[in-house]
Amino acid sequence: MPKDIEEESIDEKNEFIEDTDERPETDDEKDKMMEEGKLEEDVYSDVGRENLVKDGEIEDWEEGFAKGAEEGGRDAKCRYCGKILIEKENVVEREIDGDLYFFCSDEHAGKYLQKKQKESS
């Protein structure tokens, strides 16, 4: 490789390394930088997903899918029986104690709520 091209490549690498100093260390820093426009929004944080939905770049269901994937697929299964929830139109959603849960049927949503109430008494 000619010396001038090699030096240019080295300079680009150094420029990249220096840029990493501005990378966020925590989720809060990442969210703040996205809000300020200093960092590209992505589906791997709450703020990033919200902004992508607001900007029309992803749909609501895609936001939920990304969040579920981030949380180990917790929201992709019925909270009562563990059945994988594939068809979004058949998913039953219930808010319980401020958290949103997903079920494969109304029956399982009711049974889960009964079980949860029994455990807390």
Give the model confidence (pLDDT) of 37-46 as tens digits: 787 777 767 7
Dihedral sign for Cα 81, 72, 87, 113, please.
positive
The residue segments making up the domain with residue 97 are 77-121
Task: Please state the domain count of the chain.
Answer: 2
14 and 51: one domain?
Answer: yes
91 and 38: one domain?
Answer: no
pTM > 0.75? no
17 and 31: one domain?
Answer: yes
HEC string of 87-121 equals: CHHHCEEEEECCEEEEECCHHHHHHHHHHHHHHHC
98 and 47: one domain?
Answer: no
9 and 60: one domain?
Answer: yes
Give the model confidence (pLDDT) of 72-105 as tens digits: 555 578 889 888 887 778 899 998 888 888 899 9
Q: List the structure tokens of 105.
A: 């049927």
35 and 53: one domain?
Answer: yes
SS3 75: helix
